A and B are shown apart, each in its own frame.
Chain A
């Protein structure tokens, strides 16, 4: 069954081709079958492949399959080859599984849209590109998936192409991530020039042999890869595209945030962990970037009005946790949070989509309220998602993953205590913004009338994802709470496990957990106090000038957009405002020169015989004079 591996990315690709080439001739029902079916079969194939994979596991820790030689010339050999190990299997399972649920949801969500087949074509291509990214055996193929994901996000963000703002948002997403991609590409040039290989495994082995820890080359390459990862994962300072990316239909946001795209950066760093470990400076930067992003994004999430923008900033913040974990060397914890996050974030987006759908595309949370009676299924699933995101202890998956990260941050030899405090503050803010959303949307007075609960195709993904958001955390229960460890041994064949720093008492884990739990619960409690209408505290705060200014600043994402506008966009527009070019003046000067010479010479052609005779005489004299001399 392992031999079927190649089918996993090919199936969605085939779906894309069918829909792109003859989507117009298919009925909506057929489009839905092709679009969903291709991803669904990919998910089934993944299940079949993983059964086989686990039979040989852990003796056979990876499986490689080469389809054909992509480039084979002049010392560069790159194949279209897949590489399946514990890490990529985890990614593939999430992408196909959650991807399928999102596709199923879209069947109903977009049922009234003109571009039905175009939508599913793009979505299938998106999944195919992401699968290529995570299954690639070499960095060039990974780059193919990497750019493919960028293209699909562009197409889907700008899906409703008639709106110019959506087009701008789509272009922004592509161009900002392409800045990161270009850095990534330069990293590849250096790697290949130095090590003459692009195979992910081989490059890292060679790098570890050739470059000592902390050597300049390792730092430069790792930093370039980090810039690439930061661009795709919407971390500081390339995070500006993500909030605007909400222009696309809601299932697209779910796909971008949960299963594809933004997790690509996390995957890249985890995949290249040996190389990153060679550059401690870069790894530390990863942690700091993660911490800063998670705090800044959490603050911005607190003050947004648009339900999808809140979720967008929450994604940035949660990916920040993953980066933080990667930065302190807690590789498995980062991926565990990736797993739980993709469940609850997909759930949150789909539930938010259900709210938006039932309110006829209303996205402003201040115009919502009291929806818990009208939309019970949506309410409960959204509540579970928000609880998982805030890390409500014991019963939600988010608790287990976030707790693991925070414990790693506390105990890692690569970390500092101040980082932990920052991350702890983050859990408080997470609880605060998650439940602000829940309260604003589902409690209080009803401002609008919902058109009723969604249908079957939308409800099934919600319920399934809610179950996952509750239970998937039990794959890794810390030993203070009973110790069930399935996830970390599974990944330990790919990623190194974290050593505990000397001087940290393992018994302090309980204390640390209590702190995390209290912080999360405090956040939720505060949300109730601040945002429940009967207290109305926050509105009085926002009325004060200082509070208002702060809220506006945060709402605009800490002014990064304005900064980049001044620093980059405006100078660029200034540079490109004139369609003429400087160098053309050179050739125009030639023309002017020739014309003036012509004018000057034509003066000599007066038509007067006397003048001609005189010039002939003078010319003769001059020539004779020259000869005589």
Chain B
């Protein structure tokens, strides 16, 4: 049941925040903060339980909740939590709090509705990370979309209508592909066993013909990659990230993109072992192209938010590269990159938002010499620019390097190509610093430096970057069992040898109901 709490707390707090607005704007904000903080504490509590020595395996979850929903179609309310989803839920709750702090002064109109949408979207994201029934998964996948659309369309910048439409159409088209393939998989399960099933464990056991597996993998790939995104499905990204309000940009880049990555890791990679070896080089190549393409475009930008958006695209390339490398090291790198990118890009968007509040622009041609004006902001920008360019000792470095180390053994040439992105990352990150913080001061208006709250939030993210960069073990040990199962020799029959979930020890207080699928 505790897993449902994780989803329901933000979802139920959402209307409360909307209603709370009529008393005071701060009520809405504090309700949102309270809900997310509770979620964060809950997730941390689950994490501390995780250290009790349980081993996660295929179809065996640290915590699980299973209730029948529509038995006729094999649909159930099945949630499962393993190391990967735990790490991502922690990230979601944390970045959700950051997004609310970043919106504190920026959002002044319809405050209650804003926080309502934020909470709904985050509840959907958490649902996506927990659902292991594909129908339920798709439900949450759609739940997070509409509030996100509203966040951009209502509180966005000048070109918000175009951006929000583009975002909605692209992601909805991706969802359609995903939905069709989910239905197909369930249907194929019926053909094979006589009953339809949307359950993850059932579908893992399904053996597909090679051709079928190829098409389904492609569909599952496209469905998730649109969200990630990677070229050529990314063109919604720069417009959307740029036009969205700061809080929504943080959620989009820090969390929505992660749902795409999560989908790839959870479904695309393990469900179709038959064609993995054929498909992997294509996906990895696309990843490398994404790294370079995003980096070149990031170098071309004059708008700060667009630059960060394209750098984000470049970083997502590492995720695609690592997810399909088929080595545990690369997969661990992917997880690290997910967390690290959430922190670094979230912080950069927060800084861009802070600049926008002060100078009503994110055009870098009108900035310069900000080190002398807002030293706190400029020094934090320097720190996160370093994180973004992959400076060793910070978390992004661990992610990128593990991905590259792990990918080299699979695809040396692609990995070398991807490594060139490191040079370009230096070009755009330092270029960003030069245009904003250094050089002669163009903006003569005096602006207040970052407020203590924003500065504190950024310092916290910086501390996490350093901590994970020098001591990544907490994350890596949590996700390692999951990643181990992903690279096990993927012969379909071997799935049967894994212990079914009901044989796993369920000595945990939180496990409400453990049943065999």
Contacts and interface: CB of A to CB of B under 8 A. Distances in A.
Interface stretch (B96-104, B420-428, B500-508): B420-428
Contacts of B440: 162, 164
A186 interface: yes
A158 B306 CA distance: 25
B275 interface: no
Interface in A226-250: none
Contacts of B416: 186
B423 A178 contact: yes
Nearest to B294: A581
A185 B404 contact: yes
A587 B301 contact: no
Interface in B365-415: 369, 371-372, 375, 379, 386, 391-393, 398, 401-402, 404-406, 408-409, 412, 415
B285 to A, nearest CB: 16
Interface string B275-319: 000000000000000000100110111110010000000000000
A70 B235 contact: no
Interface string B141-181: 00000000000000000000000001000100000000000
B300 A161 contact: no
A80 B470 contact: yes
A154 B430 contact: yes
A605 interface: no
B470 A70 contact: yes
B297 A71 contact: no
Nearest to A146: B392
Nearest to A586: B232
A479 interface: no
A587 B331 CA distance: 32
Interface string B430-451: 1100100111110000000000
Residue in A75, A147, A170 whose Cβ sees the most chain B Cβ within 10 Å: A147
A144 B238 CA distance: 32
Contact of B299 (A20, A71, A185, A576): A576
A32 B210 CA distance: 70
Given A73-B480, A189-B404, A579 B430 contact: no
A204 interface: no
B483 interface: yes
A46 interface: no
B430 A171 contact: yes
Nearest to A185: B419
B256 interface: no
A583 B235 contact: yes
B244 interface: no
A572 B295 CA distance: 12
B392 A193 contact: no
Given A74-B332, A189-B404, A576-B296, A162 B369 contact: yes
B371 A579 contact: no
A190 interface: yes
A174 interface: yes
A151 B391 contact: yes
Residue in A147, A161, A164, A185 whose Cβ sees the most chain B Cβ within 10 Å: A161
B422 A185 contact: yes
A72 interface: yes
B398 A71 contact: yes
Contacts of B439: 161-162, 164, 167
Contacts of B234: 583
Interface string B465-493: 00000111100110010011000000000
The majority secondary structure among interface residues of chain B is helix
A60 interface: no
Contact of B420 (A182, A572, A586): A182
Contacts of A575: 296, 300
A228 B471 CA distance: 26
Contacts of A192: 405, 408
B471 A70 contact: yes
Contacts of B297: 576, 579, 581
A76 interface: yes
A113 interface: no
A506 interface: no
A129 to B, nearest CB: 9
A73 B332 contact: yes
B480 A586 contact: no
Given A151-B391, A167-B438, A193-B409, A182 B235 contact: no
B393 A74 contact: no
A235 B80 CA distance: 56
A350 B259 CA distance: 56
A147 B389 CA distance: 11
Given A70-B470, A185-B404, A579 B419 contact: no
A59 interface: no
B130 interface: no
A577 B301 CA distance: 9
Contact of B306 (A80, A151, A579): A579
A74 B333 CA distance: 10
Contacts of A385: none
Nearest to A175: B426
B199 interface: no
A586 B170 CA distance: 12
A66 B340 CA distance: 26
A161 B231 contact: no
Contacts of A15: none
Contact of A71 (B331, B422, B476): B476
A209 interface: no
Interface in A511-532: none
Interface in B318-335: 327-329, 331-332
A179 interface: yes
Contacts of A418: none
B241 to A, nearest CB: 14
Nearest to A75: B329
A553 B484 CA distance: 59
Nearest to B370: A161
A579 B480 contact: no
B393 A148 contact: yes
Interface in A1-56: 20, 24
Contacts of A586: 232, 235
Interface in A145-169: 146-148, 151, 154, 158, 161-162, 164, 167-168
B420 to A, nearest CB: 7
Contacts of B302: 579
A581 B235 contact: yes
Contacts of B392: 140, 143-144, 146-148
Contact of A182 (B231, B393, B419): B419
Nearest to A80: B470
Given A185-B419, A576-B299, A587 B404 contact: no
B473 A162 contact: no
A520 B222 CA distance: 69
Given A144-B392, A151-B391, A162-B372, A182 B470 contact: no
20 contacts: A71-B402, A71-B476, A73-B477, A74-B483, A140-B392, A143-B392, A144-B393, A148-B391, A162-B440, A164-B434, A167-B438, A171-B434, A175-B423, A181-B422, A189-B405, A189-B408, A193-B409, A583-B293, A584-B235, A586-B232
Interface of A: 20, 24, 68-76, 80, 140, 143-144, 146-148, 151, 154, 158, 161-162, 164, 167-168, 170-171, 174-175, 178-179, 181-182, 185-186, 188-190, 192-193, 572, 575-579, 581, 583-584, 586-587
Interface of B: 166, 170, 231-232, 234-236, 238, 293, 296-297, 299-303, 306, 327-329, 331-332, 369, 371-372, 375, 379, 386, 391-393, 398, 401-402, 404-406, 408-409, 412, 415-416, 419-420, 422-423, 426-427, 430-431, 434, 437-441, 470-473, 476-477, 480, 483-484
6 smallest CB-CB distances across A and B, nearest first, come from: A144-B392, A74-B328, A189-B408, A576-B300, A161-B438, A73-B476
Given A161-B438, A167-B439, A581-B235, 14 more contacts: A73-B332, A73-B402, A74-B327, A74-B328, A75-B328, A80-B470, A148-B391, A162-B369, A162-B440, A174-B426, A579-B297, A579-B300, A579-B303, A581-B297
